[in-house]
Structure formats: C-alpha cells, structure tokens
C-alpha cells in the first residue's frame, strides 16, 4: 500500500482509539501515547524516535508554556473557594436570577463565561474562576453536576470564542494575520451566529434540564469533588462582604484587560489580593496554597499528553494528504472552507491549532476565488466552534479533570451544546452569507 495512504489510515485509527478509549473512561495519560504509537507505526516512523523527539517535544513544549498558568489558575480558584468568596458570589447571582428557574441560573453562568471571554480571559482561566462559583449554585438549585461541562463550553467555546464581532479570543484574531481583516470582520454575520447559537442552546438547555429532573437526578452524588469549605449554614455570617468577594477577580480582570499585564502576574496579584482581603476567612492559608498547587498537576499532564498526540499527527506524511484532499471538497466555496476548518480542528483537537493550519493552507486559495475576505474570516472563525471539542480536545480533558467528571458522565452534554449546536449554526450562517455577500 502507498505509504501516504497507510499514514492517513494510521491517523484515523489512532484518532478513533483515542476517542473510544476516552469515552470509556481511560486516562489520556495512557491512551495518548498509545494513539501516537499507532500513528507512528502506520507512518513507518521509528517508534522510539517518534516518541522521544516528536511526542515528548509537543508534551514538554505545552508544559513549558502553560505550567505557570495552570499553577496560578488553580491556586487562585482555591483561594476563592476556601474563603467562601465563590459561595458569596454564587448567592449574589442567585438573588439576581432567582432559584425557581434552573434554566435562568445556568444561563447566568453562561453569561459570566461569555463576559469573561469577551474581556480577553482565556478558556483555562475562565474555568478556574467559574468552577468554584458554579459548584454551590448547582448544589443550591439541586442540579446534576454532570451538566456543568456542557454549560461551561457553551459559555466559552461558541459565541464568545469565534462568533461575536470584536472578540479578542485567538480564534477570531488568527484570520486577521492572513486576510488583512479586523476582529470586527462581517459583523452582521457574527451577530446572527451569536444570536442563533444562544437561542438554540437556550431551548436545548431547557430540554436537558427537564429530562435530568424527570430522571430524578440532582446534585447529591453527582460531584465527586463536593466539599464543605468552611462556609456552612452555621457560619454563613463569616462569609466575606459581596464587594470584597468580587475584589480579587476585579483586580485580575483590570490588570489583564485594562492594563494589559501578563496573565501570570494578573493571577498572582489576584491571589495575593485574596489572601489579604480574606485573611479572616482563610485560617489555614498554607493548606489552601498547597492544595491549589497540587490540584494543577493532573489537568496539566492530561492536556500535555493530548497536545503531544496532535504534534505527532501534524508531522507524519498522511497529514499532508488530508490537507490536500480538503481543497477538493465538492460544493460551494463557503462549504469547503467551513468543512476544511472544522476537520482541521477535529483532527488536531484544537480550535486555535485547526484555524491556524486552515488559514496557512487555504487562505490564499479562497482569496484567489474572489470571496470577500471578511466572509472568509467569519466563516472560518465560527467554524472552529464544533469539532474542536472532540473527546480528545485538551480543554475538554482539562475541564473534566478539574470538575472531577469522566467523558461517560458529562461528554454528551458537551456534544449537544458545544459541538452539535455550533455545527447547525454554522450551516445556517453559510446560507445567510450566500444571501448577504
């Protein structure tokens, strides 16, 4: 068999192995190297050389870039949780939304994720900030914790990531480097996409919650990381004042988005602010810091393993064949552009990686066809929402590790809200773009 075709087969066999075993609850720390070995073997690359020089290069490169982010992010979240600040903020949100309508409560969480994302906060940081806020909310309204990952990815990986005009998320910035556009490219199309996904997922969430309640599911027993954080009903009065509770997050966001301070320093400042203003609520500060730091290890290693697999895939000869085949997808150019971007995101398990590869390979091709650069930008950008949250996606694996859930318990909600719904929205936007441009 042709070596290139054999390599292509290896990519899909490795990808299928990764997805199937992940859905069955296997740790990505184990299955990512196995999947990488399959890809390397089919591509006739020396296994030890491939693992040591390609897989581990991708693993160590991600760890080098993001270790401090994971470390500071988990410590910041632990300070917010142990101090009771997260519970105070959750109670404040509940007063605004009410407790009778679970759908309004979860949509408030989506709104918080969206606001943070539009402010330039990364997906990983939003996770660390929102989890300690969402946990007591879910407990208060007695909603299964299994639903949280889907709600979280609806908030961070759909409209705010790639659809809203002007969003600073990297998926909306990468096309500007190739097309000469701005982050506000095709604003009408972007606003249409944002409205469509929010409306569609609003009704899907209502249906999901109703089914969950009908099955008798509640918070009790659904969250393996449920904790009694020193903020029980008996000492509710010891919780920080609501404005003080918000202060560490405000410091973080102002430094990051207004003063453009690096995220590590911003998180560090937010953490120190918390340690100071929550002095009375954190009697064992050393334990909080150590536990927060320790909790960063598994999510980081999981994500590194997944990124390393993607690095292997991107270097074998079969990946070049896949890239070439995408250019010949039948249908209108916008369909080809959308499918090409989605498939790249799916294979790499990364929205930013997928659109980066798609723009590098296809931007000039579609520009030469006379398509409006702003339309190329917006269709490509919003196409990153969908297949990017395949089970092997690093953010998915990290989020599940942080919240203490498995793919089997929570992935179906991610699939509905952050994969299926965006793809439906994408199809609608292609039709609208064909009429407007």
pLDDT at 151: 96
Residue 234: is its pLDDT beyond 50? no
Residue 235: is its pLDDT beyond 60? no
d(CA 45, CA 103): 51
Residue 228: is its pLDDT beyond 70? no
d(CA 168, CA 33): 33
**Token pair recorded at residue 398:** 């990290």
* Least confident span in 66-75, 227-236, 289-298, 381-390: 227-236
For 84-99, what is each residue's pLDDT tens digit? Answer: 887 787 778 767 777 7
Work out the average pLDDT over 150-168: 92
Q: Which of 236-250, 270-284, 286-300 has the highest mean pLDDT?
A: 270-284
**Token pair recorded at residue 326:** 């995408």
Residue 231: is its pLDDT beyond 60? no
Burial label, 23 (beta-carbon count in 10 A; 0-12, 13-18, 19+): middle
* Least confident span in 62-66, 93-97, 115-119, 413-417: 93-97
Q: Which of 21-35, 279-293, 301-315, 317-331 has the highest mean pLDDT?
A: 279-293
Q: What is the largest CA-CA distance in the chain?
A: 72
d(CA 188, CA 372): 14
Residue 414: is its pLDDT beyond 70? yes
The alpha carbons of the chain give a radius of gyration, in whole angstroms, of: 22
pLDDT at 275: 93
Residue 242: is its pLDDT beyond 90? no
Work out the average pLDDT over 292-301: 83
Mean pLDDT of the chain: 86
The percentage of the chain sitting over the pLDDT mark of 70, rounded to a whole number, equals 95
pLDDT at 229: 47
> What residues contact 346, with CB distance under 8 A and at least 6 apart?
354, 387, 388, 390
> What residues contact 53, with CB distance under 8 A and at least 6 apart?
none
Higher-confidence residue of 52 and 23: namely 52
pTM over 0.85: no
**Token pair recorded at residue 346:** 């799916």
pLDDT at 230: 44
Under the banding of pLDDT at 50, 70 and 90, the label for residue 188 is very high
- CA-angle at 12, arms to 7 and 17, nearest 5°: 120
pLDDT at 220: 86
Higher-confidence residue of 1 and 152: namely 152
Domain ranges of the chain: 3-220+233-436
Work out the average pLDDT over 387-400: 85
């Amino acid at each position: 068999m042709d070596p290139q075709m054999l390599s292509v087969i290896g990519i899909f066999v490795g990808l299928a192995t990764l997805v199937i075993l992940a859905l069955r609850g296997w740790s990505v720390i184990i299955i990512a190297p196995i999947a990488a070995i399959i890809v390397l073997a089919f591509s006739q690359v020396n296994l030890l050389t491939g693992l040591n020089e390609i897989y581990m290069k991708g693993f160590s490169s991600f760890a080098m870039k993001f270790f401090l982010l994971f470390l500071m992010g988990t410590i910041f979240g632990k300070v917010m949780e142990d101090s009771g600040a997260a519970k105070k903020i959750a109670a404040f949100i509940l007063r605004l939304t009410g407790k009778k309508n679970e759908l309004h409560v979860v949509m408030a969480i989506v709104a918080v994720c969206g606001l943070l994302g539009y402010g330039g906060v990364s997906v990983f940081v939003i996770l660390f900030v929102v989890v300690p806020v969402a946990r007591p909310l879910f407990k208060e309204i007695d909603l299964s914790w299994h639903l949280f990952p889907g709600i979280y990815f609806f908030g961070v990986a759909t409209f705010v990531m790639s659809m809203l005009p002007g969003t600073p998320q990297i998926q909306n910035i990468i096309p500007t480097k190739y097309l000469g556009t701005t982050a506000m490219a095709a604003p009408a199309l972007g606003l249409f996409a944002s409205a469509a996904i929010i409306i569609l997922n609003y009704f899907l969430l209502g249906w999901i919650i109703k089914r969950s309640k009908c099955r008798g599911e509640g918070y009790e027993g659904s969250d393996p990381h449920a904790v009694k954080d020193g903020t029980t009903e008996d000492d509710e009065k010891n919780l920080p004042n609501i404005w003080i509770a918000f202060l560490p997050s405000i410091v973080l966001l102002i430094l990051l988005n207004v003063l453009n301070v690096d995220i590590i320093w911003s998180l560090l400042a937010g953490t120190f602010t918390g340690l100071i203003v929550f002095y009375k609520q954190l009697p064992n500060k050393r334990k909080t810091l150590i536990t927060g730091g320790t909790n960063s290890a598994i999510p980081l290693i999981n994500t590194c393993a997944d990124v390393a697999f993607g690095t292997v895939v991107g270097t074998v000869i079969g990946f070049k064949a896949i890239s070439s085949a995408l250019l010949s997808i039948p249908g209108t150019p916008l369909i080809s552009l959308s499918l090409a971007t989605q498939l790249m995101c799916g294979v790499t398990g990364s929205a930013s990686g997928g659109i980066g590869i798609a723009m590098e390979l296809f931007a000039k091709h579609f520009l030469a066809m006379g398509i409006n650069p702003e339309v190329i930008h917006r269709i490509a950008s919003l196409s990153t929402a969908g297949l990017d949250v395949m089970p092997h996606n690093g953010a998915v694996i990290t989020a599940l590790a942080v919240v203490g859930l498995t793919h089997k318990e929570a992935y179906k909600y991610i699939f509905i809200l952050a994969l299926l719904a965006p793809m439906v929205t994408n199809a609608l936007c292609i039709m609208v773009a064909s009429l407007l441009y």
